Structure 1
Amino acid sequence: MIAGVPADSRASAIAIMGPTASGKTAFALELAERLGGEIVSVDSALVYRGLDIGAAKPTAEERRGIPHHLIDVREAWQPYSAAEFAAEARAAIAGICDRGKLPILAGGTGLYFHALLRGLAPMPDADPELRARIVADARVRGWTSLHAELAQVDPAAAARIHTTDAQRIQRALEVFRLTGIPISVWQRDAALRTGLPLRVLKLVLAPADRAVLHQRIERRFDAMLEAGFLDEVRALRAVPQLQSHPAPLELPALRAVGYRQAWEYLDGATSVDEFRDRAIFATRQLAKRQLTWLRGQLDALIFDPVLDAARLHAAVHAFLPTAGPASGGGPRAA
């Protein structure tokens, strides 16, 4: 502590971020065991019940009795916004701190991390009727046409939303039609943002060699297939609410990588080899987008989960000196 400068008295938390298949889950479990922590999942697929194998959701055995939060909180047909996640995650974190435990925030969903750590501008709640009209319009005109419409009313939002990102196009148009105010205006008002009132160490796990990450992604997907991923998707297809949904693949849960490709394969749209190749490619593209977002987190520390294991643990010890040094090796790939 610098003389005359008060110590930061806020509670502490550790955020473990990284692209898919980088080893976040294993490292979060290791820290939770060693530091007496509880894990808050920051993953937009793990919130859904029934998305287990394909979402790499840790099993009850893998959790080893460590409390986990924000897993299995919605059904696959139910919407779930970043604002809802942030509110529920903050409530979970408050409970963890009240119990004298360390919150460990682990996941790869950038929007969820942003909403949780920095806050989101308050916007109107979702309007199911208006959303249904926008989706129906998209079926006739296509999402590219609706993106062009968005560019007319909110060029700033359209510039950062891809023409095929149906969920974000839908939300941006919904907000504008409900309020007459572009979503970019709502989002840029810094006065409406409230950050997480904790002292947070941001750790990014990312293999230095992109080829290593690609190999992990491929191996993990093949392991998912062997574990019964397609049977899991067949079970989802049998859920009455998904069977009766007019466009199930437009639901956020089924836009998770792997699930859309498996659904289309079970529809007979692709061969099994095409399904595997498309799912692995989609996962690699997700990892690329995650890495792009993570590189913009200037206050985060980036480590190769294997090559930088000693430095990674040293960073934790420097942040929480009373935790002591690590007793084991580096994090395993998850």
Structure 2
Amino acid sequence: MTISTIPQPPRLIVICGATATGKSGLAIQLAERLGSVILSADSRLVYREFDIGTAKPTVAERQGVPHYLIDICEPTEILTVADYQDQAQQLIVNASKSLPLLLVGGTGLYIKSIVRGMKIPRVAPHAELRSQLQGLGQVQCYQMLKQIDSIAAQKIHANDQVRTLRALEVYYITGQPISEQQGENPPKYPILQMGLHCETEALTHRIQKRTENMIEKGFVQEVEQLCQKYGTELSLLETLGYQEIKQYLAGDISLETAKELIVLHTRQFAKRQRTWFRAVSEIQWFDADSSNLLDQIWQAIL
């Protein structure tokens, strides 16, 4: 049996899981077998120039298999989940219906926005309004939220400043509570979700190896150039890997310590990713270190 003979083949194949589990490599092999394309679901791959530290697929890999939703905005811009969802959904609509698309990455919210059809308020971040709200303090902001949107307040922890500010921001810009603008509208097409996992010790080894590879490929030089071009206060330079190398360049820590911190923080990040994806019952799980992983994935598709 081939993909073309399946009565109702999946329109979208999701490959997800924690960082460093080999999602990108597997996806490229699978896309080559399918003759399909890859839609990235990684919140840092959308930014240009942030390449080595994000383990972005190489130019050669992207020439071999078309990748989308990579390098779609400048490091100084903000790409919201709503922006990502709009672009991804448009690609899915416009793509050929004869072959499934591969949605690949570790950003759970990006994937959820597509497979669950999340309804997201189309309200861009408003810096001046947020600054004014922050000046009031979290306690008062949360009390305001309880008054204008009690449903949202029940779902948001009293100490969660980010979500509290967002809910207030949406209300004051649109005049409608955020709880009335949220929900889900799942797509009608069939979706197959598959996740990669590996044992903690094996994942740690993968992370250590990847960190060393990044350094060898010029990660330090990449961070140095980005700092010179955009300044050290750029928010993306506070993210995993970049922050630690920035500390090294500032003379605060040694390169060896920076690498150790990258491994530690990546392990912590991977744990949060596993927690997110394990809560999704539709995901079929596969051992990333299996010797016949591609065949197992192919049989799951068939």
Indicate whether the TM-score tops 0.5: yes
Conserved 8 A contact 1:50-1:76 = yes
Aligned twin of 1:17? 16
Pick the aligned partner of 1:156 from 148, 154, 157.
154
Aligned twin of 2:148? none
Aligned twin of 2:119? 121
Residue type of the alignment partner of 1:159: H
Pick the aligned partner of 1:235 from 220, 225, 230.
225
Q: How does 1:78-89 map to 2 (within 5 A)?
A: 78-89=77-88
* Deviates further, 210-219 or 299-308: 299-308
Instruction: Return closer, same or farther for 1:273/1:136 CA change in 2, 3 Å cut-off.
Output: farther
| 2:162 is aligned with 1:134 | no
Aligned twin of 1:222? 212
User: What do residues 288-326 of structure 1 show as CA deviations (whole Å, max 9, x unaligned)?
Assistant: 11100110110110111223745x634533433xxxxxx
Aligned twin of 1:331? none
| Rounded Cα–Cα distance in structure 1 between residues aligned with 2:277 and 2:99 | 27
Aligned twin of 2:276? 293
Conserved 8 A contact 1:157-1:172 = no
Q: How far did 1:78 drift?
A: 0.4
Q: How does 1:70-85 map to 2 (within 5 A)?
A: 70-85=69-84
Aligned twin of 1:62? 61
Conserved 8 A contact 1:76-1:254 = no
Q: How far did 1:155 drift?
A: 3.5
Conserved 8 A contact 1:14-1:203 = yes
Conserved 8 A contact 1:10-1:198 = no
Structure 1: gaps of 5 or more residues: 1-6, 321-334
Q: How far did 1:41 drift?
A: 0.5
User: What do residues 254-311 of structure 1 show as CA deviations (whole Å, max 9, x unaligned)?
Assistant: 343112222333334434333223222221111011100110110110111223745x
Aligned twin of 1:212? 202
Instruction: Return closer, same or farther for 1:281/1:236 CA change in 2, 3 Å cut-off.
Output: same
Aligned twin of 1:263? 246
Q: How far did 1:107 drift?
A: 0.3
Instruction: Return closer, same or farther for 1:109/1:150 CA change in 2, 3 Å cut-off.
Output: farther
| Rounded Cα–Cα distance in structure 2 between residues aligned with 1:10 and 1:267 | 52
| Rounded Cα–Cα distance in structure 1 between residues aligned with 2:68 and 2:248 | 32
Pick the aligned partner of 1:178 from 170, 173, 182.
173
Residue type of the alignment partner of 1:286: F
Q: How far did 1:19 drift?
A: 0.4
Instruction: Return closer, same or farther for 1:32/1:302 CA change in 2, 3 Å cut-off.
Output: same
Q: How does 1:32-71 map to 2 (within 5 A)?
A: 32-71=31-70
| Rounded Cα–Cα distance in structure 2 between residues aligned with 1:66 and 1:110 | 23
Conserved 8 A contact 1:82-1:112 = yes
Pick the aligned partner of 2:234 from 248, 273, 296.
248
Pick the aligned partner of 1:276 from 259, 274, 284.
259
Residue type of the alignment partner of 1:171: R
Residue type of the alignment partner of 2:192: L
| Rounded Cα–Cα distance in structure 2 between residues aligned with 1:181 and 1:18 | 35
Q: Secondary structure at the residue paired with 2:210? A: helix
Conserved 8 A contact 2:121-2:170 = yes
Residue type of the alignment partner of 1:316: W
Count of paired positions: 290
| Rounded Cα–Cα distance in structure 1 between residues aligned with 2:7 and 2:237 | 42
Q: How far did 1:86 drift?
A: 1.0
Aligned twin of 1:316? 298
Q: How far did 1:174 drift?
A: 2.2
Q: How far did 1:238 drift?
A: 2.4
Residue type of the alignment partner of 1:278: L
Instruction: Return closer, same or farther for 1:157/1:31 CA change in 2, 3 Å cut-off.
Output: same
The Cα RMSD (Å) is 2.8
Q: How far did 1:79 drift?
A: 0.4
Conserved 8 A contact 2:85-2:113 = yes
Percent identical residues: 34
Conserved 8 A contact 2:133-2:165 = no
Q: How far did 1:213 drift?
A: 0.8
Aligned twin of 2:188? 197
Residue type of the alignment partner of 1:65: G
Q: How far did 1:20 drift?
A: 0.3
Conserved 8 A contact 2:197-2:286 = yes
| Rounded Cα–Cα distance in structure 2 between residues aligned with 1:150 and 1:267 | 36
